[in-house]
Amino acid sequence: MPNGGWERVIQKLEVSSLTEKQLAKTIDHAVLKPSSTEVEIREGCSIALKYKVAAICVNPCYVRLCADILKNSEVKVDAVIGFPLGANAPVMKKAEAQRAVEDGAAELDMVLNVGALKEGDYKYVREEIQQVVEAGRGALVKVILETCYLNEHEKIEACKLAEEAGAHYVKTSTGFGPEGAKVEDIKLMYRTVGPRLGVKASGGIRGLSDALAMIEAGATRLGTSATQTIMEDWVSRNYK
């Protein structure tokens, strides 16, 4: 298969029949602020464990700490690569991915080179994604498009390049750009590569209504720091 043998077909979730467990498993709990401290990382791990989310998404320097805390759980460690600008040289992204996996990351969220994409240098973009996929040695790779900087054609091409390069997910945003995830972008990305690849919505998901709108549009992962709010809203809504 184009994605290097990763053969899971990622089914779109139905909001009408969504369970609490399924909702939790869409979430990558994000602790990515430049000011994040070890205390905040530990708190993030506690939230991830409490709600049994899919992963905790952190900067590479905290991967080993998170891996140690989460080693006996189902929660994966997700490291960002080339974050947040995507302007690192491919060799640096590859090295960062290799180290993250060595430290215990099972998932990698890499930012593609937005400038190269906009210039139409698709070979460069494809090859840098391939290098991270290879460096990941089986880790699940999500490619961040930073959709706020792209037109529709560029978003489609970026999704296709991610698939050709063997990535497993396409992701909207870093959360550090001028705009985050939009429903129309999730729909476009899902139409382009779903269900062969997953679609991750990230940036601006602050509550349950945002989360459900993204899932309805085709997102199968959500990057958010508002995990506790989302899950508490779910419980309040369904167990009054």
Distance (Å, whole) CA 231 – CA 158: 32
Annotated catalytic residues are: 109, 171, 200
Sign of torsion over alpha carbons 147, 60, 75, 140: positive
pLDDT band (50, 70, 90) for residue 5: very low
What is the tens place of the pLDDT at every residue in 26-74? 999 999 999 999 999 999 999 999 999 999 999 999 999 999 999 999 9
SS3 170: strand
Task: Give residue limits of the domains in the chain.
Answer: 15-238
Q: Quick check: 1 pLDDT over 80?
A: no
> By the 8 A CB rule, do 164 and 134 touch?
no
What is the tens place of the pLDDT at every residue in 113-163? 999 999 999 999 999 999 999 999 999 999 999 999 999 999 999 999 999
Least Cα distance to 198 among 47, 10, 53, 37 occurs for: 10
Distance (Å, whole) CA 128 – CA 126: 6
Q: Quick check: 8 pLDDT over 60?
A: no
Q: By percentage, how much of the chain surpasses pLDDT 90? A: 93
| Alpha helices in 104-239, H assignment, sequence order | 114-119, 122-136, 152-164, 183-193, 208-217, 227-238
Mean pLDDT (the chain) is: 96
Beta-strand runs (E) in 35-160: 55-58, 76-81, 107-111, 140-144
The class that CATH gives domain 15-238 is alpha beta
Number of Cβ atoms within 10 Å of the Cβ of 23: 22
Distance (Å, whole) CA 32 – CA 51: 19
What is the tens place of the pLDDT at every residue in 175-225? 999 999 999 999 999 999 999 999 999 999 999 999 999 999 999 999 999
Distance (Å, whole) CA 44 – CA 70: 11
- Per DSSP bridges, beta strands 107-111 and 198-202 are unpaired
Structure tokens at 121: 């240098």
What is the tens place of the pLDDT at every residue in 29-40? 999 999 999 999
SS3 113: coil
Question: Looking at residues 92-116, what average pLDDT do you find?
Answer: 99
